[in-house]
Amino acid sequence: MTSVFRSATKALRVRSKLGATRAFTSSRCTLQEALRPASLSTYTDEEQMLREAVKRFATDVVAPKVREMDENESMDPSIIQGLFDQGLMGIETNADHGGAEASFTAAIIAIEELAKVDPSVSVLCDVHNTLVNTVLRKYGTEEQKTKWLPQLAESKLGSFCLSETSSGSDAFALKTRAQKDGSNWILNGSKMWITNSYEAEVFLIFANIDPSKGYKGITCFLATKDMGIKIAKKEQKLGIRASSTCTLDFDDLKIPDDNIIGGEGKGYKIAIEILNEGRIGIAAQMLGLAQGAFDKSVPYTYQRQQFGQPIGTFQGMAFQIAQAAIDIESARLLTYNAARLKEEGKPFTKEAAMAKYWASVVAQKVSGSAIEWAGGVGFTRETGIEKYWRDSKIGAIYEGTSNIQLNTIAKFIQKEYS
């Protein structure tokens, strides 16, 4: 019994050291409560309030613009401004750097709630928080943090530039080169499939400073739009159309030496570690997408009557709906547990890969069913149900393809079992 006590209080101390909110409510909890493990759907008061606030923002401000943004393939600037105004662009950032100093789970909650309404808006918030902000928080020097985090929290959108024409899953085969020139670096090359790039002002660019060292030459550079980053092409996509995905060209792009994040040759390490966390963010996006599609379609099935009864009450339909609900719950538990493991400082790579993989599968399945349940109304663009299905496809592709996730998980299993 005493060892349980010791590990539980140690866990509480570790959590408070991380500055993250505790898994229990912020009101005084008794020691007995603290020792009892909580269910996976336990959130702090602040996390619950955040969920409510983002849900309202998404419903009132984002929802009316979703269709228009999708049809026009463009993100409404007022939505981006709204995200900044709500404090959703510096969720984990320290208060003295202008952020909300909330937990990683709080960020995951925000991403999920946004995705229920618009997965495009969700991914904008996700990339900005879990990739760009986190790189600076974890690997930036105090000066870099003080300079960039407040700007990122208040007004400047960030973008994460790793992939290229010939390097996606094989990220470290990237070809963008950086050559030293006095106290600057000159970058040449191009990046492809870059989210947020059309609206972003801050770019984290991965370039190789010494190809003879292979992946150990990859370095993370922070650049701003006005340094001369060119948008070569904006992609026209199947889904998440409002989220900008562009090809960027760097033509003798001059970046000061001070803008190297994490040190020379540390880029590969940064990329791997950060994408592990970002994975959970995408899981949350896919989860929200599935839930959003479900929430739009199921009430319709209890209103639409055929053969004298609501179609949702026919056993065949009811069974399908129940199975979709099971799928969503399982994706939810995987996602939030991975988030808590990360908060606790425990290993979470395998769980994050599982969450991302499964959530993207569930998103496809449930959104597809949602269309079928709504019939013709689901197939036409007016209700927005079909949008979820189109948006879901990217879940199996970006931030680590499904095959790569399975690979990652398999390696862990091999290590454990052989």
Partner 1 sequence: MRPSASRLLNILVPVKRAVDYAVKIRVNPQQTGIDTNVKHSMNPFDEIAVEEAVRLRERLKASVTSIRAITIGPAKSADTLRTALAMGADSAIHIEIPESAPSPEPLAVAKTLRAVIERHNAKAAKEEDKVDLVILGKQSIDDDLGVTGQMLAGLLGWSQATFASKLEVDVEKKEVFVVREIDGGGEELRCRLPLVVTTDLRLNEPRYASLPNIMKAKKKPIEKLTPADLGVDYTPMFETLKVAEPPKRVGGGKVANVDELVAKLREAGI
Please give the residue ranges that form the binding site for partner 1 (CB under 8 A): 26-27, 45-46, 48-50, 52-53, 56-57, 60, 85-88, 91, 95, 99-102, 106, 110
Q: Which of 262, 275, 289, 286 is nearest to 348 (CA)?
A: 275
What is the smallest separation between the CB atom of 110 and partner 1, expressed in angstroms? Answer: 8
Closest to partner 1 by CB, 216 vs 304, is 304
Residue 16 backbone zone (phi > 0: left; psi -120 to 50: alpha; other: beta): alpha
- 399 catalytically annotated: yes
Structural element, H or E, at residue 410: helix 402-417
Query: 115 and 289 in contact (C-beta within 8 Å)?
Result: yes
What is the smallest separation between the CB atom of 369 and partner 1, expressed in angstroms? Answer: 24
Residue 162 CA to residue 185 CA, distance in Å, equals: 17
The two structure tokens encoding residue 261: 């994040």
Give the three-state DSSP class for 398.
coil
What is the smallest separation between the CB atom of 91 and partner 1, expressed in angstroms? Answer: 6
Residue with tokens 């960030």: 158
What is the smallest separation between the CB atom of 8 and partner 1, expressed in angstroms? Answer: 23
Closest to partner 1 by CB, 48 vs 72, is 48
The two structure tokens encoding residue 222: 């922070």
The two structure tokens encoding residue 41: 């759907």
Residue 9 CA to residue 33 CA, distance in Å, equals: 11
The two structure tokens encoding residue 345: 């400082």
Closest to partner 1 by CB, 107 vs 222, is 107
Give the three-state DSSP class for 101.
coil
What is the smallest separation between the CB atom of 267 and partner 1, expressed in angstroms? Answer: 30
Residue 392 CA to residue 378 CA, distance in Å, equals: 15
What is the smallest separation between the CB atom of 169 and partner 1, expressed in angstroms? Answer: 34
Residue 38 backbone zone (phi > 0: left; psi -120 to 50: alpha; other: beta): beta
Residue 247 CA to residue 397 CA, distance in Å, equals: 17
Give the three-state DSSP class for 263.
coil
Q: Which of 83, 88, 86, 101 is nearest to 16 (CA)?
A: 101
Closest to partner 1 by CB, 88 vs 396, is 88
Residue 234 CA to residue 73 CA, distance in Å, equals: 10
Question: Which residue among the candidates 142, 201, 399, 416 is catalytic per the annotation?
Answer: 399
Closest to partner 1 by CB, 62 vs 174, is 62
Closest to partner 1 by CB, 26 vs 146, is 26
CB burial class (10 A; 0-12, 13-18, 19+) of residue 305? exposed
Residue 132 backbone zone (phi > 0: left; psi -120 to 50: alpha; other: beta): alpha
Closest to partner 1 by CB, 55 vs 177, is 55
| Beta carbons within 10 angstroms of residue 234's beta carbon | 14
Closest to partner 1 by CB, 269 vs 304, is 304
Cα–chain-centroid distance for residue 349? 15
What is the smallest separation between the CB atom of 89 and partner 1, expressed in angstroms? Answer: 9
End-to-end CA distance of the chain: 33
What is the smallest separation between the CB atom of 239 and partner 1, expressed in angstroms? Answer: 28
Write out the catalytic residue numbers. Answer: 399
